[in-house]
């Protein structure tokens, strides 16, 4: 080999080496925006723990790129969520925005996803209309109408002919109220009143007094994850259980994160939801065990599962597109079908929303601990809130 040949070979080898180095250093960035402080901090904690567990189990390289998870606390303030999302897109060049602990936080950020063509994975928020706020939104949590319709069918068949609704006064609460009420009425039952409580720091006392005076067969409740415990306590303190009024609702009120601390007052509460930590499948048992092991015994709730499944959707899309971004990455998220710790689920390619089973559950003591025990299943429930 003459000198010139040698030189060319060396240069080529050098270029190759630096190219593969650049490739190895190329990142796939996920911006995870969550309430990590304030009244909804449990949502942030659960989702971050689940995302980290997913990465620990599936590696931190995907589609040939190193995954970088950037976690930010939005303190559950919509203007903060939006500002953080903008910074993550512009400065950090994230391929995906994820998290979104409350409906207003997801809605505030939707325009950023649209303008920057960045897929936005909603892992927690659950108002039906969220997926319609941007064509770049995908959801792995659930929708309130999915849960509410199931209870509107179950209750009248189980001795509940009259009910009062009591919901947090914002998107998901209003969805829960509407879909439960319409279904109850369709089934010949009566709604005696529809009560709405403030979303933050609610004082349930005057509302529960009103329920007591109305003497319905049941009070149907939605409050966001993290708020259910004081409601449950005041329900008993005001003697509603003794007055023969049943407490029913969405699974948010018997959230696995706080259920065990509620005590026996929660026993017998029937709810409809997509996830229980006691869901009977091999995959869920493995998930709960690994989650608890990695988090000092913390029990995963439905927020954790939304985060875990969200990471699955992101990883598989990154694999299919070799660490792609924008429309291609979004397209690879649509239509994914897989087994989740909640049971079978898929992302409807048309609506970009989650389709999964809804379970009717009752709080029971198992091995000295309180669990939502699933006893009936509605299969493959689409969001009833979608008109198209």
- Subset of residues 312 to 371 that bind ligand PHB, contact rule: CB under 6 A: none
Residue that has been written with the tokens 């439960």 in this structure = 180
User: What is the SS3 string spanning 202-266?
Assistant: CCCHHHHHHHHHHCCCEEEEECCCCCHHHHHHHHHHCCCCCCCCEEEEEHHHHCHHHHCCCCHHH
* Distance of closest approach, residue 363 Cβ to ligand PHB, in angstroms: 17
* Distance of closest approach, residue 42 Cβ to ligand PHB, in angstroms: 10
Query: Which of residues 225, 321, 336, 357 is near ligand PHB by CB under 6 A?
Result: 225
Tell me which residue has its CB nearest to ligand PHB: 224
* Distance of closest approach, residue 126 Cβ to ligand PHB, in angstroms: 4
Rg (CA), the chain: 23
Identify whether the C-beta of residue 197 lies closer than 8 Å to the C-beta of residue 228: no
Grouping H, G, I as helix, E, B as strand and the rest as coil, residue 127 is coil
Token pair of 211 as six digits: 């329920």
CA distances from 131 to 55, 106, 138, 385 (A): 26, 9, 7, 11
224 binds ligand PHB (CB under 6 A): yes
**Read out DSSP for 328-374?**
HHHHHHTT-EEEETTEEEEE-TTT--EEEEEEEEEEEEETTEEEEEE
Q: What is the largest CA-CA distance in the chain?
A: 99
* Distance of closest approach, residue 102 Cβ to ligand PHB, in angstroms: 4
Query: Of the two residues 119 and 251, which places its CB atom closer to ligand PHB in the complex?
Result: 251
- Subset of residues 74 to 133 that bind ligand PHB, contact rule: CB under 6 A: 102-103, 124-127
* Distance of closest approach, residue 225 Cβ to ligand PHB, in angstroms: 4
Identify whether the C-beta of residue 214 lies closer than 8 Å to the C-beta of residue 192: yes
User: Using CA atoms, how far apart are residues 232 and 237, in angstroms rounded to an integer?
Assistant: 9
Query: Of the two residues 103 and 254, which places its CB atom closer to ligand PHB in the complex?
Result: 103
252 binds ligand PHB (CB under 6 A): yes
Query: Of the two residues 95 and 250, which places its CB atom closer to ligand PHB in the complex?
Result: 250
String of contacts with ligand PHB for each residue 165-184, x by CB under 6 A: ------xx------------
Query: Of the two residues 99 and 171, which places its CB atom closer to ligand PHB in the complex?
Result: 171
Query: Of the two residues 252 and 353, which places its CB atom closer to ligand PHB in the complex?
Result: 252
**Read out DSSP for 154-187?**
HTGGGT--EEEEEEESSHHHHHHHHHHHHHHHHT
* Distance of closest approach, residue 362 Cβ to ligand PHB, in angstroms: 19
Query: Of the two residues 107 and 191, which places its CB atom closer to ligand PHB in the complex?
Result: 107
* Distance of closest approach, residue 300 Cβ to ligand PHB, in angstroms: 14
* Distance of closest approach, residue 12 Cβ to ligand PHB, in angstroms: 55
| Total binding residues toward ligand PHB, as defined by CB under 6 A | 11
42 binds ligand PHB (CB under 6 A): no
- Give contact residues for ligand PHB (rule: CB under 6 A): 102-103, 124-127, 171-172, 224-225, 252
């Amino acid at each position: 080999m003459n000198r010139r040949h040698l030189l060319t070979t060396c240069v080529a080898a050098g270029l190759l080496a630096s190219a593969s180095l650049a490739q190895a250093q190329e990142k796939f960035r996920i911006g995870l925006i969550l309430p990590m402080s304030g009244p909804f901090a449990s949502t942030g904690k659960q989702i971050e723990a689940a995302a980290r567990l997913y990465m620990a189990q599936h590696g931190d390289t995907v589609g040939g790129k190193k995954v970088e998870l950037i976690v930010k606390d939005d303190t559950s303030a919509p203007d903060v969520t939006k500002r953080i999302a903008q910074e993550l897109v512009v400065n950090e060049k994230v391929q995906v925005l994820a998290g979104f602990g409350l409906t207003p936080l997801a809605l505030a950020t939707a325009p950023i996803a649209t303008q920057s063509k960045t897929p936005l994975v909603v892992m927690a928020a659950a108002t039906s209309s969220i997926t319609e706020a941007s064509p770049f939104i995908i959801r792995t949590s659930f929708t309130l109408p999915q849960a509410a319709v199931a209870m509107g069918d179950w209750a009248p068949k189980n001795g509940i002919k009259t009910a009062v609704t009591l919901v947090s006064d914002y998107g998901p609460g209003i969805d829960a109220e509407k879909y439960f009420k319409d279904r109850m009425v369709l089934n010949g039952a009566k709604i005696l009143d529809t009560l709405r409580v403030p979303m933050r720091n609610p004082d349930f006392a005057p509302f529960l007094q009103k329920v007591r005076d109305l003497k319905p067969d049941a009070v149907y409740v939605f409050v966001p994850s993290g708020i259910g415990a004081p409601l449950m306590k005041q329900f008993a303190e005001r003697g509603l259980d003794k007055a023969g009024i049943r407490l029913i609702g969405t699974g948010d009120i018997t959230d696995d994160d706080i259920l065990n601390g509620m005590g026996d007052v929660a026993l017998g509460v029937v709810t409809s939801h997509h996830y229980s930590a006691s869901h009977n499948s091999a995959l869920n048992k493995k998930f709960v065990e690994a989650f608890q092991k990695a988090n000092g015994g913390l029990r995963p709730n439905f927020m954790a599962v939304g985060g875990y499944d969200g990471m699955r959707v992101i990883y598989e899309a990154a694999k299919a597109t070799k660490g792609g971004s924008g429309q291609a990455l979004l397209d690879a998220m649509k239509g994914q079908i897989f087994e989740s710790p909640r049971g079978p689920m898929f992302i409807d390619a048309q609506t970009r929303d989650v389709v999964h089973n809804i379970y009717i559950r009752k709080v029971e003591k198992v091995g000295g601990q309180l669990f939502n025990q699933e006893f009936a299943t509605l299969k493959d429930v689409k969001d009833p809130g979608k008109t198209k």
